Amino acid sequence: MQALFPLIAVLFWSFNVIVNKLSVGAIDPAAMSFYRWLLALLVLTPFILPQLRRHAGTIRLHWGKLLFLGFLGMVLYQSMAYYAAHSISALMMGILVSLIPLLTVLISIPLLGVIPTLSLLCGSLLSFFGISWLISGGHPALILAQGIGRGEVMMFIAAVAYALYGVLTKRWSIALPTWVSLYVQIAFGVVLLLPNLLLAESIALNAQNLPLVLFAGIFASILAPWMWIVGVMRIGANNASIFINLTPVFTALIAVTLLHETLHGYHIVGGIMVLLGVVMAQRIRTPHTQHNAVRTPDSHTSPIQTHDVEANRK
C-alpha cells in the first residue's frame, strides 16, 4: 500500500503530459503556464504564509537562487512543454521527459563532482540513440538530412532545464523546508510569467480550458508532489525513484487510449532503448576509472525536483 503514493504521483504527472496536449487550441500556452502556478500559489498560501516570517532571513539571503530555480522549474520547463505540445505527440513528450534522470546525472558531473562510470557512458549513448530513433521514425540517418523538429528541440530544452533545476537544488541546499522553498519559487515563477501572459492574444478561462488548469494547478503541482514526498518518506528515495521510469509507459497508455494516438514500432523500440539507458545510468555503478566511484546522486531524492515530472516540472 505504501508504494501507492509514488505510483499515484507518477500517474498524475503522466496525465499532466496529456493535459499539455489537450491544452493545444483550448488555451494559450502563456495563459496555461501562468494560471497553473497562480492557482497553486493561491491554494498553498493559507498553509505556507504563516511560515514565511520565520524563514524571512533565509529567503532574503538566497532570493537570487530561489528566483533562478523558479525560472528553471516553473517558467522555462513548463512553458517549453506547453509550446512543444503544439507540434509533437504526447507519446514523444512522455519519452523525452523520461530523459530527465539521465540528464540530471550528466549535469551532476561538472556541478556536483560526480565521477563518470562505464554504465553511465553506455546508458547515455543508448538513451540518446533511442531518442534519435524516435525523432527520425526509425531512420536515424534522416536527422542529418532533415534536422530535428522544433517541438523536439523545445521539449529537450525543457528536460535539460528541469535536470539543471534538480542539480542546483542539491548543490545549493538552501536551508528552507521543502514546501516553503517550493512556495517562494512558485511566487517568483508567477511574477516571471506575467509579461508573457500580457502579450498573449487570448487569456480567457472557459468551460473547455478551466478543467485543464485545475488539474495542472492542483493535481500535478500540489497533490502529486505531496504524494511523492510521503512515498519517499515511507519507502525511501531509491525505491521511489524506480516508479519515475513508469512515466513514459503510463503516458503512452493514456495517449493511445484517450487521445487515440498511434503507437508505432519505432515508438516501442526507441522508448525501450531510452528507458534501458536511463535505468543503466541510474542503477549500475561500474567505475570508468581506477578511482573509487562516487555515488551518483539520486535525481529523485529532492521532492522539489520531482514535483512535475512530466516529467510536468518536469
Helices (H), the chain: 4-22, 29-52, 56-61, 63-70, 77-84, 90-97, 100-112, 118-135, 142-146, 150-172, 178-199, 210-214, 224-235, 237-244, 247-258, 265-283
**Cβ–Cβ under 8 Å, residues 259 and 18:** yes
Could you tell me which of 186, 150, 254 has the C-alpha nearest to residue 45? 186
pLDDT value of residue 3: 81
**Cβ neighbours, 10 Å, residue 261:** 18
Give the number of domains in the chain.
Answer: 1
65 and 259 Cβ atoms separated by less than 8 Å: no
Q: Is residue 131 part of a domain?
A: yes
Q: What's the confidence (pLDDT) of residue 13?
A: 93
Our CA angle for 215, 223, 258, nearest 5°, is 40
For 171, the 3-state DSSP assignment is helix
Whole-structure pTM value: 0.84
Cα separation of 174 and 56, whole Å? Answer: 13
Give the pLDDT confidence score for residue 145 in this predicted structure: 63
Domain that holds residue 29: 4-283
Q: Phi then psi for 89, rounded to 5 degrees? A: -80, 160
Q: How far apart are CA 222 and CA 130, in angstroms?
A: 32
45 falls within a domain: yes
**Contacting residues for 92 by C-beta, under 8 A, at least 6 apart:** 134, 135, 151, 152, 155
Residue 267 lies in a domain: yes
CB 72 within 8 A of CB 250: no
Is residue 297 within 8 A of residue 144, CB to CB? The reply is: no
Q: What is the pLDDT of residue 143?
A: 65
Does any domain span residue 296?
A: no
Residue 298 lies in a domain: no
Residue 296's pLDDT is what? Answer: 25
Pairwise CA distance, residues 281 & 132, whole Å: 18
Q: Residue 117 phi/psi, 5° resolution?
A: -115, 160
Is 295 part of a structural domain of the chain? no
Question: Burial of 140 by CB count in 10 Å (0-12 exposed, 13-18 middle, 19+ buried)?
Answer: middle
Mean pLDDT by 10 residues, the chain (314 residues): 87 94 94 97 95 94 97 94 92 86 88 84 85 78 71 93 94 94 97 95 92 96 93 82 81 90 84 85 51 30 37 38
The pLDDT, as a whole number, for residue 146 is 66
Give dist(CA 201, CA 214) in Å, integer.
Answer: 21
Is 313 among the domain residues?
A: no
Is the residue at 303 inside a domain? Answer: no
CA distances from 139 to 97, 169, 207 (A): 21, 38, 42
Q: For residues 74 and 36, give the distance between their C-alpha atoms in angstroms, rounded to a whole number.
A: 10
